[in-house]
Amino acid sequence: MANTAQALKRAKQAEKRRQLNASQRSAMRTAVKKVLTAIQSGDKAAATEMFRAAQSKLDGMARKGIIEKNKASRSTSRINARIKAMA
């Protein structure tokens, strides 16, 4: 437990940031799952539409430092390849 006022404040800030990051990470995973579900169902138009939203979410997370830039790029590339393979 924090012993000083400064340490207490930092602990509160860290917890608030952890919760925000967790919710954003969850939203990102949900967006990716929606794309993969659309791919599974074979609906290319819906998959493309959902891919745009997921790509935006992934890039935003990478920009904020919540996930690595390479992870966002790799995920985007793999999903895009799966959509192109649907043709």
For each of the chain's 87 residues, which pLDDT tens digit applies?
789 999 999 999 999 999 999 999 999 999 999 999 999 999 999 999 999 999 999 999 999 999 999 999 999 999 999 999 986
Number of domains in the chain: 1
pLDDT confidence of residue 58: 97
Burial (Cβ within 10 Å: 0-12, 13-18, ≥19) of residue 5? exposed
Number of helices (H) and strands (E), helices first, in the chain?
3, 0
pLDDT confidence of residue 2: 81
Residue 45: domain span: 5-84
Q: What is the CATH number of the domain that holds 17?
A: 1.20.58.110
- Which one, of 34, 8, 27, 13, lies nearest residue 67 by Cα? 27
pTM score, two decimals? 0.85
